[in-house]
Structure 1
Amino acid sequence: MTGTPHHGLPEPGWQQPAAKTLREIAARDPRIRDLRVHGSASADGSDVDLWSDLDLVLTTDHHPAQVAKEFAGSALSRLGPLFTASREATANGYGLRLVLVDLRRIDVTVLANSNSRDPGAAAPAADPLAELVEAFRFDGVLAAVKAARGDVLIGSHLALQLARHLLVAAMILRDRQSGTTHHRHGGTVWDTWAERLAAAPIPYTRAGISAAIRFHNEQLDRLLAEQAPHLAGGNQPLHILLDAVDAHAPVRPQGPV
């Protein structure tokens, strides 16, 4: 395993050895025509810190989603288990944003070559609740990373998104319980989940972002423990990241804002 974690966090400079491993994986896959490293990790690495992700762009003559998922599976077998992920299909490609359990972040974009004629197989239907839990964890990690870097603007935006994820989870579970997506009236026990969010810390400071993430994560775990226990727990990587954010407040820039 490359870039092994240090006190629960990735070691500085983890991007370069990880990129080497991923190039080796791509070289053994005849469907992948090219792999390029983008972003900060593509230069000499002088401005790359442990919070920086590793951006990869792959080109294929085959179906991008299939290639992306299988490439990610091979990557995880070499680099370590997955904590959460974000997925996005586009007109000419497929993106996978991976967060490993040691909080290394790897963004994989697979683009279809213009000569590609492979339509690929249709993706199986996913559990919307499981997808939402992944989205919650992913946004929680990004919000914490922004807080670690002192970016209160984007960190606050992402922390506020967690409340929306939690409410959508409650709506999905309410629909499943009632057997319908049509609800003419409220006033049910499910409304209490919205009321609980009134106690959420305001995420408009670095410390507030961290506190808001912790609060919403605790509320989501309670909801899942009651209604979908198979999806509850497993958030230790996020807690480790938040502990690091709280222990090492970023240096704020001097001068007028």
Structure 2
Amino acid sequence: MATYGKNIIMTPDKFTDQLIEAFLREFDGRLAAVALYGSKVEPEFTDRWSDTDLILVFRPEEQPKLRALNELVSRLGRILGREVHHQTGKLVARYVIQSGPTIEALDLSVFGYDQWLAEKTVSPGPHRLLWGKFPERKGALDADGSPAPYSAAAIDANWFLYYECVKKLKRRDNLIGLHLLLKLMQENLVLEMIARDEETGTNIHRFGGNEPVRWLSGLHKLEADNTALLLENLRQLSAWYDQQLLNRIPDYESRFSAFVEYLEVE
């Protein structure tokens, strides 16, 4: 017998309601909480292009395999595209689904019980709990509550990539060097987005704000076979990154000078 009963909070969106009921029916007794987040939480921000973003938190030892999620989603409509990211105890699965006459985008953040407790965020952002109850996080935050890109591990990993990028470019392996440079640009853009979210108090930006990204001003000048230009862009990128860390983290010690010294070795 189903245990979720009448405790589901319905939404104005038919597709979302079908999803919630399907997940609760399929994983009856295994789920701890289901929540909607993203633009559909605030109807005034919703348009035809809005994704359905769901958080699924499972009870201990009950997290399903990706195959089970795929099979469930495929019963709701034809899967036209899919992107999956695996982390320990967490799965992010993004789908494009043809559901009847419409095409819908679905983003699932699927947490195991322990991983939810260990997440280093205060909350999943603007969200609406539709069923169940989030397991209470106790002592899960870093001392400063830093978002993941500002964690000590992420900082070390990024600086490692900066040094790897220099090495590849100095060896004239511009293909891998440019790949690493673009990855570092992507990481810096994540920090820019975090800053925007904090400044505006939301992670929903329907039309954006035409924000300037000053460290990208020379991007149009980059040439894959111009090592000097690539290295100069890398230097500017590292300077901006280092300054953000100095501004954000009280006990961070600048690594820029040491990096530039390495970069200038012939």
Question: What range describes the TM-score normalised by the shorter chain of this pair?
Answer: 0.3 to 0.5
Q: TM-score, normalised by structure 2?
A: 0.39
Higher Rg = 2
